[in-house]
Amino acid sequence: MHKNGYMHRDIKPENFLLVQSGYYDKEILKLADFGLVKSLKDKTSPLTEYVSTRWYRAPEIALSSRSYNQSVDVFAIGCMMAEMYLGRPIFPGRTEAD
């Protein structure tokens, strides 16, 4: 996705699907919910600051920056990996200020 010039902007565990493949009984991990996808090449429309689920939101988005790139997706994946390792969310904020 990033290689093709797009950022997802809403990476979270709920947007990953584990699909059972009939071919060799393999499980395939797929990314879903492309409603907030933005082209990295589109410079005409501004980037919104309210994207991504709060627990996986990159600092630049949390600080209302209108200038960010695909690194927000990488940050969210890092949060998910830490959550899987620790067994709990690392940024479980209840409000925008948290």
Catalytic positions, written as ranges: 10
Q: Name the residue among 62, 81, 61, 79 with its Cα closest to residue 70.
A: 61
The position carrying tokens 């009939």 is 22
The position carrying tokens 């998910």 is 80
For residue 9, give every residue at least 6 positions away whose Cβ sits within 8 Å of its Cβ, in sequence order, or none.
36, 37, 38, 51, 52, 72, 73
